[in-house]
Structure 1
Amino acid sequence: MTQAPSRTALLDDPQLRPFLPLLFIAWSDGDLEPAEFAAFEDHIKEMPWLRPAARIALQAWLDPKQPPSHKEMDTLFETIGKVASNLDVDHQRDLVELGMSFAPMGTPSDDIRRALVQLEEAICGSLGPAEPLLRRVRAGRELGQEVTASGVSVPPPFDVATMRAVLDGDQAKVRDEVRRFLDDPEKRAYGLPVKDYRAKVAGWLEALADAGLGTRAYPGVTSEEKDLNAFVATFETLAMGDLSLLVRFGVQFGLFGGSIFFLGTDAQRREHLARIARLELPGCFAMSEVGHGSDVQSLETEAHWDAATRTFVIHTPSESSRKDWVGGAAQHARMATVFANLTVGSEKQGIHAFLVPIRDAEGELLPNVRAGDSGHKMGLNGVDNGRLWFDHVRVPESAMLGRFARMTEDGRYESPIDNPKRRFFTMLGTLVGGRVSVASASVTAAKVGLAIAVRYATARRQFGSDDGVEMPLLAYPTHQRRLLPKLATTYVLSFAVAGLRRRFASDQRASLEASARGDRTIPDTRETEAFAAALKALASWHGVETVEQCRQACGGQGYLSVNRLPELRADVDVFTTFEGDNTVLLQLVAKSLLAGFKKRFESNALAGVVRQVMSKAHTAVTEKNVIVVRRTDSEHLRDRGFHLAALRYREERLLETVSGRLRKRLAAKKDPQEAMLDVQEHLVALALAHADRIALSWFDEGATSCQDDALRGWLDKLGALHALTLLRRDATFYIQEGYFDSHKESAMREETERLMKELTPAAVALVDAFGIPDATLAAPIAFMDPAHPRWP
């Protein structure tokens, strides 16, 4: 019930102050009974020294027919906080004594003490200890937050909407459209039977298509977009919701439709893409085989050109050649992009992509096509992953995606790229968007987990001092260490994948513009491909580790499906495998670094790597500075220039040492492949060091360009916590190298502790800036703080 404004206005009356703690505890303890109010009426007559205004205020605050609202209780508590700001609340344990501490100078202390004792006994049944109130006061001091009567409240130390705008970047409108789509309780499901779950996800996908979100995948064909920036941002934001829907969206519009967009001719785009964008032609992407996953160049599926009929014959000759883990193949897809080794006459032309119908309009499998269900999985059971076999299936000449290859009128094979290996990797390079998308989605999954865990850690209390005062979980340094470095890294990677997305979109825009001009020159995108592989590995591992840490940090509540974390953890795990196994990708990144990007970014380009390694004695390693080695002041330890220099030193030093190891083996005439296997773990370490460095570099670009000084200050703290966490993780390397000593490592540890304490009061605001809709976040434990409007 709305109260008269005079009730809160009178809180500043000095005579009322001694009663404030008692008023708060009285209403926190429960509603006042009529008998208690009657007793109060009797006692108030024995307080003739009260001024009329103070008497009216007491009567208003203790009226059982008009209990105070949450807002009024918050105002009451804020007033208590102001009065108590100079008091040692840790030594005030009795309500009467605490109230006496609030009494202004010159007031009749004996009368006030007697009144407080009488009121405590009459109204509160001898409440005695002031712990319910002091607990909240201490909690606020521990977190550096204000705490309200209705719970822990975190007044944002910065404008959350502005931070969200910084994170959303130039795709804010696109992201908001996706958020509106997701902000619906009906788009949340868990615990359903597989059949029902798949049906629900299929319905959501239709709704996405109806909303036109799939058209963004084909700029210049089905949309007015100039590049794929909007599509990748759409995919990234969809990861706030159900990840099975995300995968179905990615398979239909990104992989299946994307294969035609990038590898097809203009005629093939016109024929298929509009229908794919409207979901009138559901499809799938059949590349990996059970016997050949990452080694795409060695796929066994065959495509034979039959010159007499001008058809291709698609065939899986063995069980190991079956197409596996094909999203959509088990139930929904009617056409597949099938990657197969093409043979024309007696010549092998390498891997090519073919459009192969697999089901009719009624969903029945077509002749000579066999499909199976992959079965129940660890996660993503809303996706109908399946297996495909082809028994000499004939498809027309137009089925071969023809951007890089075609059959001439006289039945000869023709390609603008003569070298089959180069042609193959050029084709694969056009599909790098999948890795960009998975990297982006992995960061979003980490954001969801952190939003749940950080909010819960602010509201949930346990243990504390010997006097029984409980503290919020986030007040504990151990809990801060579990979540805040992950939060910092998530911010860093959010800027990093934004930089990657822009670079990818720029490359694709240049390629499309060249194609439109009739320019057959293939743009050099191998550096972007390496960046995408590196960040995909870094981001997907971070997503898995972060969600798992968030689940554990929420204790038993994190194990409940209703709180999203179990399903999120299971769903995100496969991101480390999607679009290439992370360990394999990192070896490709390392080989590209060894080759200095002088040869095509490819898994088997050992000759180019060998030549580059043998011709170069060492890399230019950053010079070590004795003063920098020992410098431990806070300004230096938080300086991003220092962080970037250290990460670059590690990357270049690893490049130098792995080159030396390879050079030694190659000089001894060891087989290049064996030499690579000898240093495999070294290669992975090099690639991760490269990924760490480029991620922080792109974060630096984004943070430095932020125009809001206050926000930039918070971003600097996040960047420093992330970087110092990395440097401490690899402290053994740096100490052995003499880059810094053990004293500096100790100073870094202390600095990370200071940064975590500084970031703790902003933790909720930082996760709120992710802009995850309430209905999408969904977890009840994320809404235990009444400051959030959807608190149950």
Structure 2
Amino acid sequence: MSVIKNLIKDLPKGPLDAYRKRATFDWKSFKLTLEGEDGVRFQKKLWKLIRTHPAFQKSSIELTNLDELRRRCNAQMVAFHQNDIEPIYALENFFYTLQYNGSIPIKLSILYSMVPNTILALGTEQHHHLAGEFSSGNYIACFALTEFSHGSNAKGMRTTATFDIATRSFILHTPDFEAAKCWAGGLGKSATHALIFAQLITPDGVNHGLHVFIVPIRDPKTHLSLPGVTIGDMGEKIALNGIDNGFIIFDKYSISHTCLLNRTADVTKDGKYVLAIKDERKRYGSSLGALSSGRVSITVICSHYMTLALTIAIRYCAVRKQFGPTNKDDELPVIEYQAQQWRIFPHLAATYAVKIFSNTFYKEMIELFSGRFMENSSADLEYRGIEIHALSSAVKPLCSWIARDAIQDCRESCGGHGYLKMSRLGDIRAENDANCTYEGENNILIQQASNWLLSQWTNIINKRAVPSPLGSADFLVDAEQILNIKFDQTTVEDTLKPKNLLLVFKWLVCYYLKKTYQHMNDLKSNGMSDFDIKNNSQAFLARTLSLVYGEHAIMMYFIRCLQDPKWKENEREVLTKLCSLFGTVTLEKRLGDLYGGGYASSSSNIDDFLRKGIITLCRDLLDNAVALVDVLAPPDFILNSPLGMSDGEVYKHMKEWIFSNKENLERPSWWKEIRSKL
């Protein structure tokens, strides 16, 4: 308790006290168990720096100048470095900076995760020193894959890297503006180097496909573009304008042959192409495998946006009073109403589910990258990398959509006040929106997960194990037995048990895997091409397969967390209700599949059990809702929303916010025009 007292401050007294007193657990103890002592200490150090350092002080006037926004974001990153807060040692904790400024963790994850991990994964010893230069901040790098006319179709990239025997160099060239690399975060104003994905062409004119090069692009002394390189900024975006997304054009730009990250393939002095990995598909997959780190990071980012939105909405709804049981002045907080609980409590459950899943999944990804450089690197490690790639391709879209819907419902649940800029919900919504597109547009990316799952059906047919070190798909070996299971629960209570809900998710994955596989086989037997088969198997089939696979994984990780002995019994009890609510709400949306696929009979009452369960769980969570967001919430100066301050004084803070801008109280300069006659 002394550790808790020193690390976690008491919250101020106010209108929220009534709900905090109703909680069945100590929120500080819960926070320490959930975040870990090291994590809470890091947050305390981080929040202290942000509160006191000049680079983080908010101006009374909102910054709108693009250059100043980029400058401010850069100054904040420098402040971390100068104050001994190094993301390289605890990058997963640095995602908390998103709660203050959404641009910071994205730039940090590119610089300290995606770029070094790609260099270490795809480069050789001659490149490893560069990873250190980027991690230390001596160099600044960006990740340049996308081109103006090609994004999701990586194989269609048109930037070329042609090997020149005479100079033993690669000539990077952009054939036209459509082939210019674009959207690279950090490229517009900051980067000294870029990871360039280009088509490697040998002197014999053969195109060997997409390869990765680490390329110097700006003069380190002047910060000007190097000769043969044109760099520009993409301009203002909907949000996240602290990130300088840019484009780059190469005009027969010569780079050293050592710029090629050559772990999987190389070019000899005389221009011969040599494969270290003979399987071209594996080589290509290795080249794009580095993208997994960005996708896994996005799941963590989504959990933080959800934390902000749910904190604001639940605190506001616990204070905002409307109507009541009589005509007297006894209005109830809107959080007391069933309809309001049904709107936001499932998103609270999803926030915990995504947070628990993403934090664990991120650590598994870090372990993978670390394991690749151990001498005992094994086939298990290869399977782990493939599974992380497949699972990240499912959960990145799933989590960003879950967050999108949660933020929107939080905005609406706060009514008109939620539409005010001061609520911050609009900014949160706009910032999260990018998660649905970058690192793979969701509806395209999700196909990579279904492709991997469909490739496992041969193992299932032949009774072979499905290689799944993380356990996200190992149950598929029992697919036929699982598909024979029928819903047989007779009470709401049994239906809501996490282990029983998890079994339903397993059934859904098996159902959609078999259904999609059979559909594709039918199309093949009718003479349809492979391209058309995939194209005609997405809606209602392969896409849904990937989503239920991701939902199963999140539920599975939540249940594993519940089984950890670190939890006190009252903490585990409320977590179990959150887990059940996440699973129940998710499955209720798939009742048509459960009935149509034969898992539940028309007389099974599964629809009634799930819906009654949702209402019951929401009601049961009412007493703990405020305490549950207290566990997750950042300090008030980070949350920065009058609607969600920890003291619950909503109207006091709204008044302060409105009156702080004198223009709100002044006559407009154009007042004479208001009543002027035409």
1:165 corresponds to 2:24:
no
CA distance in 2, matches of 1:676, 1:273: 38
User: 1:684 offset after TM fit, Å?
Assistant: 0.2
- 2:411 corresponds to: 551
User: 1:646 offset after TM fit, Å?
Assistant: 0.9
Question: Contact conserved, 1:312 with 1:396, CA < 8 A, in 2?
Answer: yes
Q: For residue 330 of structure 2, what is the amino acid of its counterpart?
A: V
CA distance in 2, matches of 1:764, 1:487: 10
Please point out which of 229, 252, 255 is paired with 1:369.
Answer: 229
* SS in structure 2 at match of 1:492: helix
- 1:560 corresponds to: 420
1:348 corresponds to 2:207:
yes
- 2:272 corresponds to: 412
Q: For residue 194 of structure 1, what is the amino acid of its counterpart?
A: L
Q: For residue 145 of structure 2, what is the amino acid of its counterpart?
A: M
Please point out which of 533, 536, 548 is paired with 1:675.
Answer: 533
1:660 corresponds to 2:518:
yes
Question: Contact conserved, 1:459 with 1:784, CA < 8 A, in 2?
Answer: no
Please point out which of 337, 348, 351 is paired with 1:490.
Answer: 351
CA distance in 2, matches of 1:639, 1:329: 49
1:720 corresponds to 2:580:
yes
User: 1:539 offset after TM fit, Å?
Assistant: 1.0
Q: For residue 425 of structure 2, what is the amino acid of its counterpart?
A: L
Alignment of 1:590-605 (within 5 A): 590-596=450-456
> Deviation per CA, 1:285-343, whole angstroms, max 9, x where unpaired?
11111121111122100001111111110011122211111112221212211110101
Question: Contact conserved, 1:372 with 1:387, CA < 8 A, in 2?
Answer: yes
CA distance in 2, matches of 1:267, 1:283: 17
Please point out which of 39, 64, 74 is paired with 1:202.
Answer: 74
- 1:534 corresponds to: 394
With over 3 angstroms needed to count, the CA separation of the structure-2 counterparts of 1:178 and 1:537, relative to structure 1, is farther
Question: Contact conserved, 1:183 with 1:773, CA < 8 A, in 2?
Answer: no
Question: Contact conserved, 1:258 with 1:431, CA < 8 A, in 2?
Answer: no
1:688 corresponds to 2:550:
no
With over 3 angstroms needed to count, the CA separation of the structure-2 counterparts of 1:323 and 1:448, relative to structure 1, is same
With over 3 angstroms needed to count, the CA separation of the structure-2 counterparts of 1:416 and 1:212, relative to structure 1, is farther
- 2:365 corresponds to: 504
Question: Contact conserved, 1:212 with 1:278, CA < 8 A, in 2?
Answer: no
1:761 corresponds to 2:623:
yes
> Deviation per CA, 1:621-668, whole angstroms, max 9, x where unpaired?
525566x44x34232022112101111111111111111111111122
With over 3 angstroms needed to count, the CA separation of the structure-2 counterparts of 1:522 and 1:394, relative to structure 1, is farther
> Deviation per CA, 1:127-161, whole angstroms, max 9, x where unpaired?
xxxxxxxxx9xxxxxxxx973xxxx6545321212
With over 3 angstroms needed to count, the CA separation of the structure-2 counterparts of 1:786 and 1:549, relative to structure 1, is closer
Please point out which of 482, 499, 502 is paired with 1:644.
Answer: 502
Q: For residue 237 of structure 1, what is the amino acid of its counterpart?
A: Y
Q: For residue 694 of structure 1, what is the amino acid of its counterpart?
A: A
- 1:80 corresponds to: none
Structure 1 residues without counterparts, runs of 5 or longer: 1-69, 75-135, 137-144, 217-222, 224-229, 600-615
With over 3 angstroms needed to count, the CA separation of the structure-2 counterparts of 1:201 and 1:307, relative to structure 1, is same
User: 1:761 offset after TM fit, Å?
Assistant: 1.3
> Deviation per CA, 1:234-263, whole angstroms, max 9, x where unpaired?
343233221111222122222333332332
- 2:116 corresponds to: 257
1:710 corresponds to 2:570:
yes
* SS in structure 2 at match of 1:725: helix
- 2:670 corresponds to: none
Question: Contact conserved, 1:235 with 1:437, CA < 8 A, in 2?
Answer: no
User: 1:280 offset after TM fit, Å?
Assistant: 2.5
With over 3 angstroms needed to count, the CA separation of the structure-2 counterparts of 1:618 and 1:298, relative to structure 1, is farther
With over 3 angstroms needed to count, the CA separation of the structure-2 counterparts of 1:493 and 1:239, relative to structure 1, is same
* SS in structure 1 at match of 2:632: coil
CA distance in 2, matches of 1:212, 1:261: 24
User: 1:483 offset after TM fit, Å?
Assistant: 0.9
Q: For residue 93 of structure 2, what is the amino acid of its counterpart?
A: T
Q: For residue 258 of structure 1, what is the amino acid of its counterpart?
A: N
Please point out which of 196, 207, 218 is paired with 1:359.
Answer: 218
- 1:328 corresponds to: 186
User: 1:787 offset after TM fit, Å?
Assistant: 8.7
RMSD value, Cα: 2.9
Task: Return the TM-score normalized by structure 2.
Answer: 0.84
With over 3 angstroms needed to count, the CA separation of the structure-2 counterparts of 1:676 and 1:184, relative to structure 1, is farther
1:734 corresponds to 2:594:
yes
> Deviation per CA, 1:440-483, whole angstroms, max 9, x where unpaired?
11111111111111111111212223224221121121111111
Please point out which of 437, 442, 451 is paired with 2:297.
Answer: 437
CA distance in 2, matches of 1:153, 1:492: 22
- 1:193 corresponds to: 65
> Deviation per CA, 1:759-790, whole angstroms, max 9, x where unpaired?
011111111111423221121211273599x9
User: 1:678 offset after TM fit, Å?
Assistant: 1.4
CA distance in 2, matches of 1:432, 1:553: 34
User: 1:215 offset after TM fit, Å?
Assistant: 5.6
Question: Contact conserved, 2:483 with 2:510, CA < 8 A, in 1?
Answer: no
Question: Contact conserved, 2:121 with 2:369, CA < 8 A, in 1?
Answer: no
1:267 corresponds to 2:126:
yes
- 2:330 corresponds to: 469
With over 3 angstroms needed to count, the CA separation of the structure-2 counterparts of 1:518 and 1:528, relative to structure 1, is closer
Alignment of 1:556-635 (within 5 A): 556-596=416-456, 619-622=479-482, 628-629=487-488, 631-635=489-493
With over 3 angstroms needed to count, the CA separation of the structure-2 counterparts of 1:786 and 1:722, relative to structure 1, is closer
- 1:104 corresponds to: none
Question: Contact conserved, 2:103 with 2:243, CA < 8 A, in 1?
Answer: yes
Q: For residue 191 of structure 2, what is the amino acid of its counterpart?
A: A
CA distance in 1, matches of 2:109, 2:452: 27
Please point out which of 321, 336, 342 is paired with 1:481.
Answer: 342
Please point out which of 395, 399, 403 is paired with 2:259.
Answer: 399
Q: Percent identity?
A: 26
Task: Return the TM-score normalized by structure 1.
Answer: 0.73
- 2:9 corresponds to: none
1:782 corresponds to 2:644:
yes
> Deviation per CA, 1:674-712, whole angstroms, max 9, x where unpaired?
111111111001110111111101110011214311111
Question: Contact conserved, 1:459 with 1:785, CA < 8 A, in 2?
Answer: no
CA distance in 2, matches of 1:505, 1:273: 15
* SS in structure 2 at match of 1:330: coil
CA distance in 1, matches of 2:345, 2:433: 21
1:156 corresponds to 2:18:
no
Alignment of 1:30-45 (within 5 A): none
Query: Aligned pair count?
Result: 613
User: 1:198 offset after TM fit, Å?
Assistant: 1.2
User: 1:744 offset after TM fit, Å?
Assistant: 2.9
CA distance in 1, matches of 2:159, 2:135: 28
* SS in structure 2 at match of 1:622: helix
* SS in structure 2 at match of 1:339: strand
- 2:465 corresponds to: none
> Deviation per CA, 1:531-553, whole angstroms, max 9, x where unpaired?
11111111111112111221222
* SS in structure 2 at match of 1:432: helix
Question: Contact conserved, 2:117 with 2:369, CA < 8 A, in 1?
Answer: no
* SS in structure 1 at match of 2:285: helix
* SS in structure 2 at match of 1:620: helix
